[in-house]
């Protein structure tokens, strides 16, 4: 054997970390991400100002918005960003909670690793902890609410927006969110389904946040196609088209040979006749408003204006589908197929100036399955933050309508879970018991961070909370009152959250912690140098 000759298995420049140093670095990276958003948790959380490579500014308190904007390099840190994205898609709220929990689970795991507890033992303990926590949430902590209980829905929406920068107007926005979700919620058999994508949020700066309004219909970010068209159409009959109102070009390349000027004229006349036929077909169907996904020729717009028909062109496909749901119309491809049965109805279609732009409002739909919210605010950054807050509120209201269960917020649910899991850990036995206890301790990071961000003594608050949840007069609804740092019944404070937010935060945090802990070897290839612009070379083969 050749002694001392290194054998290169990996490519030159590859970095490799193994064992404890790999795990330690991954945990440190994940914790750094968790610490970044930790200060934004709760109603007293601070905002972050993010400036991207182009110099665009985002000011937000939303965990997922912050993590999406940060350019994260470390692979373990990227996994925490994914947790926030998943939480946002599933529940809308609790993104910061999920990330803080994941960071805390890893921090506690590090202590156990130092005591030579094997990573798989820790992960098994965490999984047992999550299963028991979910069982407790469903069986004992969750409270069932009826869909018609509007007060609870408004409380849920205000709680979701409590940590955002829209604090002053949150009651107004919460009512809008609840009304919007109630309008689009549908019964499918026993289940209620509320698809938040059917609510169109359009933002325009100008005015104040309290000018934000719910519109029983759809707002299109388009003006009418021709100045001579009517500015307002009442009792609108709307034709929804997804094909262009223009002369079609042939599929293959073709030429027209013209021998004399008369032929040019007849060619133009024929084109004109085609346009007339289009307008006649629309008029014959009884439509007085046309919404087209593609282009409309100028001549067609002129004829439509002559007939007093309001037309909008180049409308997004998603907006056209929302219009179909709002007005009860059908989207038609060929204009020849258009009939009175395909038309949607609305009390009014009109053009209004909002801020600097003209927009088309389709309002007064009889039973809209799709609605719009027009967000207003002093500056662009304000309207963007209001939109993010509204999206969170819409999603949590939808999840309460779908699941029908809520739990107290303000750290009350977390403390209750921690107290119960600590007692339960003793029954687990084995080394997993240590991991379950670490899991219980990690959940307390939420009330801890809430108190810390409120400027109160976290240790005192935590001791008070534990006493309130575990004693002769135990009350599982007691959480942190951030107005004065005391501990109060959260139902009386109207701080309520959907169970789905809690379940998802616990399971996704535990899953990502498990994944990071199971990594014992990080092999990172050398970054390939980008090829110089213009030159085709520079690639490694």
Q: Of 60, 62, 158, 342, which residue is the catalytic one?
A: 62
Q: How far apart are CA 403 and CA 409, in angstroms?
A: 17
Of 429, 421, 439, nearest in space to 109 by CA: 439
Q: How far apart are CA 88 and CA 80, in angstroms?
A: 13
Catalytic annotation on 96?
yes
| Dihedral over Cα of 487, 491, 494, 495: its sign | positive
Q: Which helix (H) or strand (E) holds 345?
A: strand 344-354
CA angle, residues 515, 517, 520, in degrees to nearest 5: 105
Q: Of 93, 216, 319, 392, which residue is the catalytic one?
A: 392
Task: Write out the DSSP string of 223-262.
Answer: --S-TTS-SEEEEEEEEEE-S-BSPPPPSS-------SHH
Side-chain-side CA neighbours of 313 within 13 Å: the count stands at 14
Of 411, 410, 405, 494, nearest in space to 157 by CA: 494
Q: Of 36, 96, 123, 212, which residue is the catalytic one?
A: 96
* Residue labelled with tokens 């609510």: 199
Residues of the chain by 3-state class (helix, strand, coil), percent to 5: 50, 20, 35
Q: Which helix (H) or strand (E) holds 489?
A: strand 486-489
DSSP 204: E
Residue 492 near residue 478, CB atoms below 8 Å: no
Catalytic annotation on 392?
yes
The structure tokens listed for 414 are 């977390």
Q: Of 36, 86, 95, 363, which residue is the catalytic one?
A: 95
Q: Is 429 left (phi over 0), alpha (psi -120 to 50) or beta?
A: left
Q: Which residues are catalytic?
A: 62, 95-96, 392
């Amino acid at each position: 054997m050749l002694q001392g000759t290194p054998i290169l298995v990996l490519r030159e420049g590859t970095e490799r970390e193994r064992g404890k140093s790999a795990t330690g670095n991954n945990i440190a990276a994940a914790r750094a991400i968790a610490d970044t958003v930790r200060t934004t948790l709760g109603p007293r959380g601070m905002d972050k100002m993010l400036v991207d490579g182009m110099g665009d500014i985002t000011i937000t308190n939303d965990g997922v918005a912050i993590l999406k904007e940060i350019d994260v390099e470390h692979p373990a840190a990227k996994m925490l960003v994914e947790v926030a994205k998943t939480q946002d898609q599933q529940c809308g709220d609790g993104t910061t909670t999920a990330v803080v929990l994941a960071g805390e689970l890893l921090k506690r795991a590090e202590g156990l690793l130092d005591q030579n507890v094997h990573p798989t033992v820790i992960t098994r303990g965490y999984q047992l902890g999550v299963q028991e926590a979910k069982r407790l949430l469903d069986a004992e902590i969750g409270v069932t609410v009826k869909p018609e209980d509007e007060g609870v829905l408004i409380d849920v929406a205000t709680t979701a927006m409590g940590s955002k920068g829209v604090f002053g107007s949150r009651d107004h926005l919460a009512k809008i969110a609840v009304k919007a979700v109630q309008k689009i919620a549908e019964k499918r058999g026993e289940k209620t389904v509320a698809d938040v994508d059917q609510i169109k949020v359009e933002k325009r700066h100008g005015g104040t946040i309290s000018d934000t309004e719910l519109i029983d219909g759809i707002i299109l970010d388009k003006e009418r196609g021709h100045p001579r068209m009517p500015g307002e159409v009442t009792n609108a009959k709307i034709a929804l088209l997804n094909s262009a109102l223009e002369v079609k070009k042939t599929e293959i390349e073709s030429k027209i040979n013209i021998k004399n000027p008369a032929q040019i004229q007849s060619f133009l006349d024929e084109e004109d006749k085609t346009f007339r036929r289009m307008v006649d077909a629309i008029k014959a169907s009884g439509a007085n408003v046309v919404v087209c996904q593609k282009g409309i020729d100028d001549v067609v717009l002129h004829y439509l204006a002559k007939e007093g028909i309001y037309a909008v062109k180049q409308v997004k496909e998603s907006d056209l589908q929302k219009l179909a749901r709002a007005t009860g119309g059908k989207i038609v491809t060929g204009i020849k197929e258009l009939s009175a049965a395909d038309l949607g109805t609305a009390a009014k279609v009109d053009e209004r100036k909002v801020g600097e732009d003209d927009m088309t409002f389709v309002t007064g739909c009889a039973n809209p399955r799709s609605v719009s919210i027009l967000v207003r605010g002093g500056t662009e950054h304000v309207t963007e933050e209001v939109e993010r807050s509204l999206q969170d509120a819409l999603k949590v209201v939808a999840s309460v309508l779908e699941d029908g269960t809520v739990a107290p917020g303000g750290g009350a649910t977390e403390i209750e879970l921690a107290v119960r899991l600590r007692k339960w850990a003793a029954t687990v036995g084995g080394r997993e018991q240590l991991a379950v206890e670490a899991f219980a301790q990690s959940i307390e990071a939420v009330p801890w961070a809430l108190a810390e961000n409120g400027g109160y003594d976290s240790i005192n608050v935590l001791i008070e909370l534990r006493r309130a949840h575990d004693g002769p007069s135990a009350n599982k609804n007691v959480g942190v009152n951030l107005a004065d740092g005391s501990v109060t019944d959260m139902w009386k404070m109207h701080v309520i959250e959907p169970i789905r937010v809690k379940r998802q935060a616990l399971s996704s945090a535990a899953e990502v912690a498990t994944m990071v802990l199971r990594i014992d070897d990080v092999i990172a290839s050398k970054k390939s140098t980008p090829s110089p612009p213009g030159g085709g070379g520079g690639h490694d083969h």
